[in-house]
A and B are shown apart, each in its own frame.
Chain A
Amino acid sequence: MTSRTEPLAAGGWPPPVLDPAGPFAESVTTLAWVLLLGGGAVLVIVLAMLGIALFGPPRLKTRLGGERAIWALGFAFPAVVLTGLLIWGLTLTSSLSATRVAGDAMRVKIIGEMWWWRVHYQDADGREMLRDANELHIPVGRPVLLELEAADVIHSFWVPRLGGKMDMIPGRTNRLLIQADAPGIYKGQCAEYCGGPHALMGFIVVAHSPADFARWRASRLPESAGAGRGLALFLSSGCAACHTIRGTPANGLAGPDLTHVGSRRTLGAGILPNNPGTMAGWIADSQAIKPGNRMPAYHQFSGDELRAVSDYLVTLK
């Protein structure tokens, strides 16, 4: 198991689907290996038969050239293999289904939107505790039950190293269990075509050791609204119509909650690193970075106004 800490450079090797980081992905990986190797073996067998049919000795050719061989190779053999696979698949499906929820699972509601994610942390009774966006923090070694919903069109939640994907469908709540067994950053992406910049609708999961998670959790409680010129500009320029910063008058709901935006690893839904420079670039002209996203380009700021706003936002830890 490799550990990756850079949010935007996962490397791609080993392929995340074959490099599980938790139990819900792990059993699927085992299945994937069996299927890949078994499928490869069957392909070799079929090619060998085809080779015999074309180039083989007459004796073997005759045996291959009758209805008995067709039944045996084309029906009986696959039927046996497939029955075995089917039983395994059904057992695994029901064991992975989120219908049976472990008691100590952490609960988070994630709502897909064009083209970002709302993240609502909940307590054991399903009450909302914390709001965030585009980033999910979890403790290692503990199952996390995700309640997946959609605000506009269909999206699909997929973090390959932690589990399979699950669609987010308007009017429904789907459930998915994920778990990470090692601290690190796990990349995800929307897997259901949702129009426009669907390709740039990323997501990250940050898994902490239990102690780090408790620290992260505690850092979330005081609402660090800050003050000064940056906030004043933020409020007077219309940003608050779409964004919330708790502890300030900014309470817009259309865009991501920015209360802790400074502590996020990424900007623009998992696609850019987060620092004052990228923040400024995003605010001034996000359309150049993620064409089609719902945030207009803010050309009206002067240079130092833009710097004041972005410097303010990155202090919101």
Chain B
Amino acid sequence: MRSETGFDPALYDRFPTKEPRPEGEEEELRRIWCKPKGWEYLTVVNNNYVGIYYLGTAFLFFLMAGVLALLMRAQLAAPMLEILPQATYNQVFTMHGTVMMFLFAVPAVEAAGVLLLPQMLAARDLPFPRLSAYAFWAYAVGGLCFFASIFVGLAPDGGWFMYPPLTSKAYSPGINTDFWLLGIGFIEISAIAGAIEIIVGVLRTRAPGMSLDKMPIFAWAMLVFAVMIVIAFPSIILGTLLLEIERAFNWPFFDAARGGDPLLWQHLFWFFGHPEVYIIFLPAAGMMSMIVATVAKTELVGYRLIVLAMLATGFISFGVWAHHMFTTGMPPMTTGFFSAASMAVSLPAGLQVFSWIATLAIGQRSFNAPGLFVVGSIVIFVTGGLTGVMVAMVPFDWQAHDSYFIVAHLHYVLIGGMVFPLFAAFYYWMPMVSRRALSERLAKWVFALMFAGMNIAFLPMHLAGLQGMPRRVYTYLPGQGFELPNLVSTIGAFMLGLGVLLFLIDLARNFRLAPGGGNAGNVYDGATLEWLPSELYSARSIPVVRSREPLRDDPRLAGDVAKGRHFLPGSATGHRETIVTSPLLAEPQYLQIMPGPSAWPFAAAVFTAGFFLALTVQAYSFAWVSAILAVVSILRWLWETDRPVRDEEVDIGAGIMVPTYVTGPASHGWWTMVILLVVMAMIFIMALFSLAFLASNQPAFWAPPPSMAAGLPIYFLYGAAFLAALAARPLLKRDARWPVGLFFASAFAAGSALWLDWTGWSAAGLAPQASGQGAVIAALQALQAFAVGTGLLMAAYCAARVARGLMTQPRSNTVDLAMLFLCYTAAQGLTGALFGRAIGMT
């Protein structure tokens, strides 16, 4: 067996250990991972709590957006009703789509990841528990305030896709649109924080021996999901930022009369928006793959195919976005490419569906609650997939686009591809978090009502679409044949709602949270590690994983783990900790000491939300105070991390010694910073794309940029900034003051370069309000200014740590991360300076 890190795999044979464990070891674990009391429920960071909060909040949004859907169906039950007046309806349909996509679907699967992944990978927790808490609270506070806008009639009303110019200041002067732009932009940041956490968690905190090919399929799904978020979400963050700037400062990114282009928004939105569908679908498909195997009491057929299919889906989904734009007048060559990609993306879906069917075929048939939802999901999802192929055909889409046919299609895909799998998952994993499982008897009713209701609600919409009923209409004229399909749809929608209501009753009767042990146990006989007996610290000891379904292949494993016969049977350092393993083969590399509960992430989230909300209602002084308090809270929370450690090396079981402090590319902090920089780079790349897009679509508005040669001092300064930051790491060995000085030097060099760059553009006569070109160039400079400012803050933070003697030597993660960030800042600035001059160069 080869090794990835030099770890000798023969050491795994020491487990399970035979010696008796010392007294009190388990009690110490319990003490360290203690339950919260009273107000401490707000400051918990453990994934068992944050995951449940997160999932519960997402489900709450599902219910609220579902109520909005029922209101809409009531309004559309007959022609020209006035249950919801026009303006209210327009807000309600906008909120329904927005809340379902941004506040339910993505957070729900992300929450499932937070809740399930540590257990499934047998990690004690996710690698950044405080980041999870921050992401959750930011989402919960921001999301609830956003939703509340509908109660005061200030909810956005431009559709969940927010196309300008309808959403520009001229046609949407109220703050409704700002609620959307700031609220959603903010919640996306929380989604990205969660995604970074999940990538590092899946790749670095798996149980020893769980190589990638032994990883549960759900973890694969969450990995692809998180990578897709990191690549796709920056596009919508940039989009919302640009549109908000256009509204607030009149920079014409999307105003065709001044060299902007409304289609730029559509590209930015759908570059995020279509991958979004797969971002929602893949984790749900991962759940399906887990559940289907357990329900059929067999091994998943086609594990490798499914992994391949997920990777392919992730890849292809970035080439399909413009199929939402087939009617915008794109040339046939372009639509042809996107049509082909849209069809290709159905192939990996086909592989997954037939893998599930194959698994059901070789297994035993059982129609328990998860089994019913799995089968229902396959039927609904396949139907939606087939109509998806239809609308991928460009000429057919010219008829179907923006009609009720699409409403039917997307609900089949999303309900079959995400909602039904999620309900299967609720039933399946409920015994893991609750003291009682849900009722099997009631589940049959819930399923029957939801399945029948779903089809009765959405099947007739195909017909309404073919009859010419456009979507997003608050009413329709009689006499067009829309009456019957709409009435039937309304009846179906209320059946679906009744099914969900029954589920809520079941939840109220049987769901009793059991975080500190005492859960209902392995009711469905699952074979993966989340079914190990567990408490707040997950499993008592972290097992050596030797197969894909360890509980089935080694019936004694659960007992051995509970008796502490595997890795890390107690606490090695007296702190919360987990084993960090290598990305491919999961060989133990070091012990990560984890932060415990803290009020600072909560405070940071509340102040961040306060900042965005205050911006929305234009309370600027309150906004700036909130922003400063948010930054202070984040710095305060970081302040407690990266401390000098007591024991350089500890025994993690059976005499295997690993370090407790690792820096450089092997450390999880380094990985996280690299992923964060990928996010920033994607935002910047999308901004560069915007510049190139406007240059090719609005050439008449293009002014010649400053010359390449005139930029030489700028390039030189950015080069110096890069080298200064790079030199900080080796020089830390000499003196902790060296990096601080170099970081300041790097930030000042980058700042000077930025200043020179901007003065060059102003001298060339470019103004942000005058043209699309000026607006995008100024936006690029603003992004760069944000990076330089953050770099400066990092330098100051390092200086403060040195002054307090908190800087570890000769190597320090804090210095590593600041170094990475400042090097990136210099590279980003240089790229922007060169690119801006190259576009439209004469």
Chain A positions near chain B (C-beta within 8 angstroms): 8-13, 15-18, 25, 27-28, 31-32, 35-36, 39, 42-43, 46-47, 49-50, 52-56, 61-62, 64-67, 69-71, 73-75, 78-79, 82, 85-86, 88-90, 92-94, 96-97, 99, 114, 152-154, 156, 158, 160, 163-167, 169-172, 174-175, 187, 189-200, 202, 271, 291-292
Known: A189-B470, A191-B403, A291-B86. A154 touches B327 (CB 8 A): no
7 A–B pairs (Cβ distance < 8 Å), ordered by A: A70-B355, A156-B402, A165-B399, A193-B163, A193-B402, A195-B172, A199-B474
Q: A26 CB to closest chain B CB, in angstroms?
A: 11
Q: Are A15 and B396 in contact (CB under 8 A)?
A: no
Q: Are A46 and B328 in contact (CB under 8 A)?
A: no
A residues near B472, Cβ cutoff 8 Å: 193, 198-199
Q: Which of B172, B329, B343 contacts A86 (CB 8 A)?
A: B343
Q: A145 CB to closest chain B CB, in angstroms?
A: 13
Q: A47 CB to closest chain B CB, in angstroms?
A: 7
The yes or no answer to B644 lying at the interface (CB within 8 A) is no
Q: A90 CB to closest chain B CB, in angstroms?
A: 5
Q: A163 CB to closest chain B CB, in angstroms?
A: 8
Q: Which residue of B lies closest to A49 (CB)?
A: B357
A residues near B470, Cβ cutoff 8 Å: 158, 189-191, 198-199
The yes or no answer to B7 lying at the interface (CB within 8 A) is no
The yes or no answer to B262 lying at the interface (CB within 8 A) is yes
Q: Are A94 and B332 in contact (CB under 8 A)?
A: yes
The yes or no answer to B352 lying at the interface (CB within 8 A) is yes
Q: Are B340 and A170 in contact (CB under 8 A)?
A: no
C-alpha spacing A96/B467, complex, angstroms: 22
The yes or no answer to B335 lying at the interface (CB within 8 A) is yes
A residues near B471, Cβ cutoff 8 Å: 193
Residues 351 to 366 of chain B near chain A (Cβ within 8 Å): 351-355, 357-362, 365
The yes or no answer to B628 lying at the interface (CB within 8 A) is no
From B477-485, B493-501, B542-550, B582-590, the one touching the partner chain is: B477-485
A residues near B163, Cβ cutoff 8 Å: 153-154, 192-193
Q: Are A65 and B466 in contact (CB under 8 A)?
A: no
Beyond A73-B354, A194-B166, A195-B90, list 17 extra A-B contacts (CB 8 Å): A10-B480, A12-B479, A15-B468, A31-B395, A65-B361, A75-B351, A78-B347, A82-B346, A86-B343, A89-B396, A93-B394, A152-B170, A154-B262, A165-B327, A171-B256, A171-B698, A192-B163
Q: Which of A42, A53, A169 contacts B329 (CB 8 A)?
A: A169
The yes or no answer to B216 lying at the interface (CB within 8 A) is no
Q: Are B395 and A67 in contact (CB under 8 A)?
A: no
Q: Are B393 and A66 in contact (CB under 8 A)?
A: no
Q: B64 CB to closest chain A CB, in angstroms?
A: 22
Q: Are B395 and A27 in contact (CB under 8 A)?
A: yes
C-alpha spacing A12/B327, complex, angstroms: 23
Q: Are A16 and B468 in contact (CB under 8 A)?
A: yes
Q: Are A82 and B389 in contact (CB under 8 A)?
A: yes
The yes or no answer to B401 lying at the interface (CB within 8 A) is yes
Q: B763 CB to closest chain A CB, in angstroms?
A: 29
Q: Which of A42, A54, A79, A167 contacts B386 (CB 8 A)?
A: A42
From B377-385, B572-580, B683-691, B776-784, the one touching the partner chain is: B377-385
Q: A118 CB to closest chain B CB, in angstroms?
A: 17
Interface string of B737-761 (1 = CB under 8 A from A): 0000000000000000000000000
Q: Are B332 and A99 in contact (CB under 8 A)?
A: yes
B residues near A174, Cβ cutoff 8 Å: 328-329
Q: Are A196 and B86 in contact (CB under 8 A)?
A: yes
C-alpha spacing A8/B468, complex, angstroms: 13
Known: A8-B479, A39-B389. A17 touches B468 (CB 8 A): yes
The yes or no answer to B800 lying at the interface (CB within 8 A) is no
C-alpha spacing A169/B329, complex, angstroms: 9
Known: A54-B360, A89-B395, A93-B335. A35 touches B390 (CB 8 A): yes
C-alpha spacing A158/B469, complex, angstroms: 11
The yes or no answer to B301 lying at the interface (CB within 8 A) is yes
A residues near B481, Cβ cutoff 8 Å: 10-13, 15
Q: Are B86 and A292 in contact (CB under 8 A)?
A: yes
Q: Are B301 and A55 in contact (CB under 8 A)?
A: no
Q: Are B353 and A74 in contact (CB under 8 A)?
A: yes
Q: Which of A10, A53, A86, A175 contacts B357 (CB 8 A)?
A: A53
A residues near B158, Cβ cutoff 8 Å: 193, 195
A residues near B362, Cβ cutoff 8 Å: 61-62, 65-66
Q: Are A15 and B467 in contact (CB under 8 A)?
A: yes
The yes or no answer to B190 lying at the interface (CB within 8 A) is no
Q: Which of B340, B354, B389, B466 contacts A15 (CB 8 A)?
A: B466
C-alpha spacing A75/B350, complex, angstroms: 6
Q: Which of B263, B359, B395, B396 contacts A65 (CB 8 A)?
A: B359
C-alpha spacing A35/B398, complex, angstroms: 14
Q: Are B398 and A164 in contact (CB under 8 A)?
A: yes
Q: A284 CB to closest chain B CB, in angstroms?
A: 20
Q: Are A191 and B301 in contact (CB under 8 A)?
A: no
Q: Are A50 and B360 in contact (CB under 8 A)?
A: yes
